[in-house]
């Protein structure tokens, strides 16, 4: 296999590191393998690739999710710069409910973060001009787009930026707290379960 896959503190979230092969010209790696992903992580189809460019260090995007039946699983990677990437478990009944995984992703290592459905997702840029690419398992649906306030104290996320210095969208400054979030996700449901009612 040309990828190393590790479980995070919340086992359903995984770090995927492509193996790099270097020579005098530079390096080569496989950043995506449908066969490996289906057999080693989850048997699903990604339908869309997204890319964001953040001009400034300290830009926070999140915490976002889509409600069922358009819930999105995501595979995140950085192609320039670096981020602190965060996934928050919001699956009711989960032993890790309201807990989070926070990992540094950067372009140099190429490590990717797999975030299944039932998690909030957000990140903070650690460098100027950071570019993030990610695969999603459902198309964007404005009617199902939702979020939670990035710095909700109930989440206890140690962001690498002070609240007064964070660069945020108007929308992300007005997101509700976790305590206001209905039970959209239940522990044990898969991406296919959440899409079946559509």
Give the catalytic positions in this structure. 64, 134
Cα 83 from Cα 159, distance rounded (Å)? 11
Task: Pinpoint the alpha helices (H) of the chain.
Answer: 34-40, 170-173, 191-195
Cα 48 from Cα 192, distance rounded (Å)? 16
Q: Are 116 and 191 a contacting pair, CB within 8 Å?
A: yes
Cα 100 from Cα 80, distance rounded (Å)? 24
3-state secondary structure of 37: helix
User: Residue 174: phi, psi to the nearest 5?
Assistant: -115, 15
- Which two structure tokens, joined as six digits, stand for 165? 């210095």
Residue in the block written with tokens 């965060």: 86
- Which two structure tokens, joined as six digits, stand for 139? 């198309």
> Using only C-alpha atoms, what is the Rg of the chain?
16
Torsion sign over Cα 97, 100, 140, 174: positive
């Amino acid at each position: 296999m040309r990828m190393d896959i590790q479980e995070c503190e919340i086992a359903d979230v995984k770090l995927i590191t492509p193996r790099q092969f270097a020579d005098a010209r530079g390096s080569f790696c496989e950043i995506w393998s449908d066969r490996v992903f289906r057999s080693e992580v989850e048997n699903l189809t990604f339908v869309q690739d997204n890319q964001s460019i953040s001009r400034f260090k300290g830009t926070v995007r999140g915490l976002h999710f889509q409600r069922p039946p358009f819930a999105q699983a995501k595979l995140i990677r950085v192609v320039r710069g670096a981020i602190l990437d965060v996934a928050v478990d919001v699956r009711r009944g989960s032993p890790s409910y309201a807990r989070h995984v926070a990992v540094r992703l950067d372009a140099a290592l190429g490590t990717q973060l797999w975030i299944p459905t039932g998690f909030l997702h957000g990140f903070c840029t650690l460098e100027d001009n950071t570019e993030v690419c990610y695969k999603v398992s459902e198309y964007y649906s404005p009617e199902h787009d939702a979020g939670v306030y990035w710095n909700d104290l109930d989440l206890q996320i140690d962001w690498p930026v002070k609240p007064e210095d964070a660069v945020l969208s108007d929308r992300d400054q007005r997101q509700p707290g976790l305590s206001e979030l209905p039970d959209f996700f239940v522990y044990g449901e898969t991406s296919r379960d959440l899409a079946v009612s559509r």
